[in-house]
Structure 1
Amino acid sequence: MRRGAVRSVVMAGLLVLLGGLGSGVGTARAGAWPGPGPEAGAEAGAEVEAGPEVEADVAYHGRVALAGGRLRILLVPENEGPSALVNATVRLRLSADLADRQELAEGCARAGLREVVCETGELPLHGRGRHIGLVMRLKEPASEVVVRVDTWWNGGAADRNHANNEHVVLALDTGDTYAF
């Protein structure tokens, strides 16, 4: 997905969350947004519509390191089932402001002063999505940064196990790597 397209989707989602476009937002959990429809990129025979009957267990595993005002994040999204997902969006919220200019990975976009969202790509049943690698500059050096990881959008699928997709990681400015 092109960076401009990701920004357009993010902006549309933010407008809906702020009440600018009406009632198209599901209320399953705070922060949900109507991201790209499941039919985008779906192949024949693939799961094309997520709804209340679709259930998936999205999980995120990765590493975080902070050194000299640069935050490095490697994230691997997984789906432990029972249904495949065409796409999902992971949200990364920081306790420190990001620098104004960032070179983000493809499929990622800024969603605020301290927030980045990234599409996971297809999440097959008992499989992994694309690896997401980010190196982000902070606006000002910080001795520590808290990184909160969660699912921003998953096509409306039910996910009853938030223990593996909602993480809080404290990274100290030592260059050490912290796993989640």
Structure 2
Amino acid sequence: MRGLRKGVLGVALAAAVVMGAGGTAGAVGPVVGPARAEEPSAGVEAEGGSEADLAHHGHVSLWDGRVGVWLVSENLGPTDVAEATVRLAFSVPMAGGFDLPPACLWSSDRVVSCRTGELKATGGVGELALDLRTAGRPDELTVDITTAWRDGVADRNPRNDRHRVLVLATGDPYVF
């Protein structure tokens, strides 16, 4: 009975993750330009002194070899960001052959990189939902969420855009 409840919770969560992104597992909002893997060095002044404060929050769930990710990226300002790239690095390999939203690409069998689209200062928000499968059925995994690129804008507060989440295969949402 407990396994059935976990399975139903997992399916409900997967549906919620997909529905939360407007009916598909794609990014919401404008998507501009290619995803990039470069990251400006911490503490280095950006061109023209532009500064923004990107933040990523959401939750990750793992059940029966499936991973659901719901991610909200926002810009707390003071400068608009034309686009940014968020990287999700998993501690276990993901199964290939599954489509990603148009804003995302596989960087390796453990890393997905996704564009956020434009993030206006003080409130620009981008949403992303992913429904992935692991190569096996792990009891747990970790996922590292980081800003990989931010359009040349400095971020002096990277603590709110870098997270490491331990996710147990319970179907429960682990919030970051």
Give TM-score, length-normalised by structure 2. Answer: 0.75
Taking the aligned partners of 1:95 and 1:52, their CA distance within structure 2 comes to: 37
Q: Deviations over 1:49-68 (max 9, x none)?
A: x7251100000010100000
Taking the aligned partners of 2:123 and 2:82, their CA distance within structure 1 comes to: 12
Structure 2 portions without partners, runs of 5+: 1-30
Distance 1:67 1:127, change over 3 A: same
Q: Deviations over 1:25-81 (max 9, x none)?
A: 67525xxxxxxxxxxxxxxxxxxxx72511000000101000000000000000011
Q: 1:92 aligns to what? A: 88
Q: 2:143 aligns to what? A: 147
Segments of 4+ moved more than 4 angstroms? none
Give the letter aligned to residue 112 of structure 2.
Answer: V
Contact 1:52 1:156 in 2 (8 A): no
Which secondary structure state, in structure 2, belongs to the residue aligned with residue 72 of structure 1? strand
Identity of counterpart residues, as a percentage?
39
Give the letter aligned to residue 50 of structure 2.
Answer: V
Contact 1:83 1:125 in 2 (8 A): yes
Give the letter aligned to residue 122 of structure 1.
Answer: E
Give the letter aligned to residue 112 of structure 1.
Answer: S
Taking the aligned partners of 2:172 and 2:117, their CA distance within structure 1 comes to: 29
Range that drifts further, 88-97 or 153-162 = 153-162
Which secondary structure state, in structure 2, belongs to the residue aligned with residue 163 of structure 1? helix
Taking the aligned partners of 1:148 and 1:162, their CA distance within structure 2 comes to: 13
Contact 2:60 2:69 in 1 (8 A): yes
Q: 1:106 aligns to what? A: 102
TM-superposed CA distance for 1:106, in Å, is 2.2
Taking the aligned partners of 1:76 and 1:52, their CA distance within structure 2 comes to: 28
RMSD: 2.0
Q: 1:80 aligns to what? A: 76
Distance 1:68 1:172, change over 3 A: same
TM-superposed CA distance for 1:9, in Å, is 3.9
Taking the aligned partners of 1:143 and 1:168, their CA distance within structure 2 comes to: 17
Which secondary structure state, in structure 2, belongs to the residue aligned with residue 28 of structure 1? coil
Q: Deviations over 1:101-137 (max 9, x none)?
A: 1221220100011000000011001113321000111
Which secondary structure state, in structure 1, belongs to the residue aligned with residue 159 of structure 2? helix
Give the letter aligned to residue 83 of structure 1.
Answer: T
Q: 1:37 aligns to what? A: none
Distance 1:27 1:125, change over 3 A: closer
